[in-house]
């Protein structure tokens, strides 16, 4: 069942040519049996992750469309409602996520260029930023709960305009779904960190770091749209 090795077409692809440790028969231990080359496996993994990101865009997109439709229907109520949001905390969270995206791409770059310490440091920094984001959101949510500005039937804020509760339904659904993705992202980054500490990654194989990085950037991308639409429209 030997693989007839193909003449390795030298891709211009982002390099995943295996020059790490090899088995006796020359195969990188990270090469899965149904692929014939590391570059092929890497490209396939990337396509797979981008397809998954496409599904996330459409998932969140539905919420954005719903938000847009309701905002078009109740512009005054939405305008009044968003004043309850602290734009400074929102801006802080935006900065935090942008920085976390930076540390994440540095981590990917570090794994690509063999900088193990940089990789580990930046994964930890990314986790720290993500944690900060969640802490800020915790304070925001606490404040809302205190004021009775809750989603759907839990909304009990007595002042303000009619239909403002619809804004808060969307606020909690969108930031909540986003928050769930932040938590899942932290789990994924944590797993990558554990593997990085074990020395699993290097210039010959860093695919999981790259893929988790892509996911994390998407989490940032979604917030880039959430922030102005929820916090800033006036």
Partner 1 sequence: MSSHAHSHENDWKIYLGVLLALLTLTVITVGASRIDFGSLNVIIAVVIATVKASLVALFFMHLRHDKAINSLIFLSSLMFLSFLLILCLIDVGSRIEPKPANWKGPDKGLMSPRDLDKPATPAGTAPGMAPAPATEAPKPAAPAH
Partner 2 sequence: MATTTTPVVHKGHEAPKDYLNDQPGIWSWMTTVDHKRIGVMYLWSVLGAFLLGGLFALALRLELLTPKEDFMNAETYNKVFTLHGAIMVFLFIIPAVPAALGNFVLPLMLGAKDVAFPRLNLASYYIYVTGAIMAVAAMVTGGVDTGWTFYTPYSTTTTGAVTLMALSVFVLGFSSIFTGINFVATVHKLRAPGMGWFDLPLFVWGIYATAIIQVLATPVIGITTVLLVMERVFQVGIFDARLGGDPVLFQHFFWFYSHPAVYIMILPGMAIISELIPTHSKKHIFGYRAIAFSSIAIALISFIVWGHHMFTSGQSQLAAAIFSFLTFLVAIPSGVKVFNWVATMYRGSIALNTPMLYALSFLLLFTIGGLTGIFLGALSVDIHLHDTYFIVAHFHYVMMGGTVIAFIGGLFHWWPKIYGRMYNERWGQISAWLVFWGFNVTFFSQFFMGSQGMPRRYFSYLDQFQPWHVASTVGSWILALGLFVAAGTLLASLRKPKDAPANPWGSKTMEWETQSPPIAHNFEHTPVLTHGPYDYSPEPVGRRR
Q: Which two tokens stand for residue 36?
A: 């014939």
Q: Roughly how many angstroms between the first and final C-alpha of the chain, as a whole number? A: 66
Residues that bind partner 2 (rule: CB under 8 A) add up to a total of 43
Residue carrying structure tokens 């986790």: 127
Whichever of 98 and 197 has its CB closer to partner 1, that residue is 98
Where does 56-182 show beta strands of DSSP type E?
A: none
Q: Which three-class secondary structure state does DSSP give residue 158?
A: coil
Of positions 8, 19, 54, 75, contacts partner 2 by CB under 8 A: 54
Reported as type and span, the H/E element at residue 93 is: helix 87-112
Q: Does 62 bind partner 2 (CB under 8 A)?
A: yes
Q: Does 72 bind partner 2 (CB under 8 A)?
A: no
How far, rounded to the nearest angstrom, does the alpha carbon of residue 55 sit from its chain's CA centroid?
13
Q: Does 109 bind partner 2 (CB under 8 A)?
A: no
Q: Does 34 bind partner 2 (CB under 8 A)?
A: yes
- How many helices (H) and strands (E) the chain has is answered by 6, 0
Cα(124)–Cα(118) distance, integer angstroms? 10
Which stretches of the chain bind partner 1, using CB under 8 A? 10, 13-15, 17, 19, 43, 46-47, 50-51, 53-55, 57-58, 61-62, 64-65, 68-69, 72-74, 77, 87, 91, 94-95, 98-99, 101-102, 104-106, 109, 112-114, 152-153, 155-158, 160, 162-165, 203, 210, 213-214, 217, 220-221, 224-225, 227-229, 232-234
Whichever of 77 and 193 has its CB closer to partner 1, that residue is 77
- Interacting span for partner 2 (CB under 8 A) from 113-121, 122-130, 149-157, 212-220: 149-157
Q: Which residues of 8-28 are buried (b: 16+ CB within 10 A; e: fewer)?
A: eeeeeeebbbbeeeeeeeeeb
Question: Binding residues for partner 2, per CB under 8 A?
Answer: 1-4, 6, 32-36, 40, 43-44, 47-48, 51-52, 54-63, 65-66, 69-70, 73-74, 151-154, 163, 165-166, 169-170, 173
């Amino acid at each position: 069942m030997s693989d007839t090795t193909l003449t390795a077409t030298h891709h211009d692809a982002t390099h995943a040519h295996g020059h790490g440790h090899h088995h006796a028969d020359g195969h990188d231990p990270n090469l899965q049996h149904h692929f014939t080359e590391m570059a092929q496996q890497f490209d396939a993994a990337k396509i797979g992750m981008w397809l998954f990101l496409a599904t996330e865009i459409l998932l969140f997109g539905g919420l954005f469309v719903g938000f847009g439709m309701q905002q078009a229907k109740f512009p005054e109520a939405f305008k009044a409602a968003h004043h309850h949001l602290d734009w400074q905390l929102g801006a802080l969270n935006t900065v935090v996520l942008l920085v976390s995206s930076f540390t994440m791409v540095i981590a990917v770059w570090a794994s690509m260029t063999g900088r193990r310490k940089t990789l580990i440091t930046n994964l930890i920094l990314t986790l720290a930023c993500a944690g900060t984001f969640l802490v800020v959101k915790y304070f925001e949510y606490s404040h809302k709960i205190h004021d009775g500005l809750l989603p759907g039937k839990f909304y009990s804020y007595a002042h303000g305009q009619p239909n403002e509760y619809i804004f808060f339904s969307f606020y909690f659904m969108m930031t909540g779904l986003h928050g769930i993705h932040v938590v899942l992202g932290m789990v994924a980054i944590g797993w990558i960190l554990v593997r990085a500490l074990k020395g699993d990654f290097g210039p010959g194989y860093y695919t999981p770091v790259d893929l988790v990085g892509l996911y994390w950037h998407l989490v940032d991308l979604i917030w880039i749209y959430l922030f102005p639409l929820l916090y800033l429209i006036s």
